[in-house]
Amino acid sequence: MRSRAPWLWVCAVGLCAAAVPASAADAPVMPPIPKLDEVAPESGAVYEKISLTDAVRRALARNPTAVVAMHEIKRAEALLVQARAASMPSLNGNVTLLRLDSDRLLTSPGSPATATTPAIPSSSRNIAAKNQQSGSLLLNLPLVAPRAWMQWSESSANLATSQASSEDIRRTLATSVARAYLLIISQKRQVDINARSVATDRSHYDYTHTRFAGGVGNRVDEVRAAQQLAADQAQFSASFTALARAREALGVLLAEDKPVDTLDDVRLPDASTKFEDAAGRRQDVLAAKARALVAEKVRKDSWSDYMPALNGQFQPFFQHPASLVMPETGWQAMLVLSFPLIEGGLRRGQMRERDALLAEARAQYDGLLRQTRSDLRVAVEEIRRADEAMRSAQAAAELAHQALDLANLAYHAGATTNIEVIDAERRARDADSAVVIAEDNVRQARLDLLVAAGQFP
């Protein structure tokens, strides 16, 4: 016990020395703390503000994804025209210029004279001139073309599928725009909370600095207040970076070469939670259903691969000079019946491919129906829990601010140190941030329900 006494005496002296307030002149120099306006990097900046409806409309009109989807519909329309061409009449013209090395002559031998007949000399007849010009028009009429007709019908169904897929792409794009829009609102709220925290910390630091300069406070309280102020100002600056990144992301989605800002708030309507309504409105479900119907139609139309085709042809022609078998002008008509006999297993392979595509399309459609039911159930539960969490967060924030006010009163009265004040400030800021997160969760949950119900956009 006697050996420990000197150490206890030294610790007691140290504690007493730390409790004695130091004068402002003897204190070490504190690093400068930037003021509030020096950490507001966008003071004076002006951004275009846009509503959620206008943002979605602009993105659907200008975003590259939407533009590509629109051109895919035009491409499907062009493919429909190409498929229809095989079932329509066609007219082709041909012109031929032929040069031979010499005229083609047919020589008839003569006969000698007899007692009753005179001699017949030999003769030559031109059957193919050295220079020939010919022309013709070929009109082809598909009279019976089952395979071409089925391809025309399938291309028309594919056009409807492309339109449904385009609507699904537009739905996904609109959802991304809405989420970016809501993120900006939350980031702006977070910037406001950090700004209020910095203002509160600045006021507390000024108070502790004034007390210390007047010889009433102590150096520890001033340093703690300054440290809290500097930390919150760093977080305040970081929140501007997140806000700038969110604005730039929205600008990219809107195909703008600049950041875009949002209005102060947005109200999302309530959505229906009936599965039948959602399945009839959701673009991804409709697109999957259209793909399944097209695959089923292509599978059923496989019978046309085994059917013959009948074409009618009409051909007027011109030939100069006329030949032995071709007059100078004329026409000809034909009926051509063609049907496949042996093709090396091509049609069997096509049938198996169509069976596989139909099974895949049906599986995807059934999976999307199950996903729709799940999305609706999750969205309803998410909204209920998000509302409860937001009310709890708001109550916690109110209590945290009351605790901060009480801590400030106790510190100003000299009943506590500023540790309680700094701790209350942190808790109040965290509680406000939790409210922002809870409000954003509520908005995101309402958006999820609208998307799951097929009511957005």
Strand 260-262 versus strand 48-50 pairing type: parallel
Chain segment 247-268, per-residue pLDDT in tens: 999 999 999 999 999 987 788 8
Amino acid 343: pLDDT: 85
Task: Provide the 8-state DSSP code for 323.
Answer: -
Decide if pLDDT at 124 tops 90.
no
Q: What's the CA dihedral at 26, 30, 32, 36 to 10 degrees?
A: -100
Decide if pLDDT at 36 tops 70.
no
Residue 329's alpha-carbon distances to 62, 96, 316, 317, 318, in angstroms, are 59, 15, 8, 6, 5
Decide if pLDDT at 142 tops 70.
yes
The answer to whether residues 118 and 111 touch, using CB atoms and an 8 Å cutoff, is no
Cα(382)–Cα(447) distance, integer angstroms = 11
The answer to whether residues 132 and 321 touch, using CB atoms and an 8 Å cutoff, is yes
For all residues of the chain together, what is the average pLDDT?
Answer: 86
Amino acid 219: pLDDT: 87
Q: Is 343 exposed, middle or buried (0-12, 13-18, 19+ CB in 10 A)?
A: exposed
Cα(28)–Cα(32) distance, integer angstroms = 12
Chain segment 160-219, per-residue pLDDT in tens: 999 999 999 999 999 999 999 999 999 999 999 999 999 898 989 988 989 888 888 788
Decide if pLDDT at 61 tops 90.
yes
Chain segment 73-94, per-residue pLDDT in tens: 999 999 999 999 999 999 999 9
Amino acid 353: pLDDT: 95
Higher pLDDT, 386 or 214: 386
116 band by pLDDT with thresholds 50, 70 and 90: confident
Q: Is the pTM of this model over 0.75?
A: yes
Sign of the torsion angle spanned by Cα atoms 378, 379, 380, 382: positive
DSSP output for 113-171: --SSS--B--EEEEEE-SEEEEEEEEEEEEEE-HHHHHHHHHHHHHHHHHHHHHHHHHH
| % residues pLDDT > 70 (the chain) | 88
Mean pLDDT of 138-152: 94
Decide if pLDDT at 29 tops 80.
no
Mean pLDDT of 380-394: 95
8 band by pLDDT with thresholds 50, 70 and 90: very low
- What residues pair up with 330 in beta bridges, in sequence order? 317
Amino acid 273: pLDDT: 83
Amino acid 113: pLDDT: 67
Closest CA to 440 of 262, 277, 228, 232: 262
Decide if pLDDT at 10 tops 50.
no
Which amino acid type is present at position 192? D
Amino acid 3: pLDDT: 44
Distance between alpha carbon 143 and the CA centroid of its chain, in Å? 46
DSSP output for 221-268: HHHHHHHHHHHHHHHHHHHHHHHHHHHHHHHHHTT-SS-EEE-S---P
Distance between alpha carbon 285 and the CA centroid of its chain, in Å? 17
Amino acid 32: pLDDT: 57
E runs forming strands in 66-116 = 90-99, 104-108
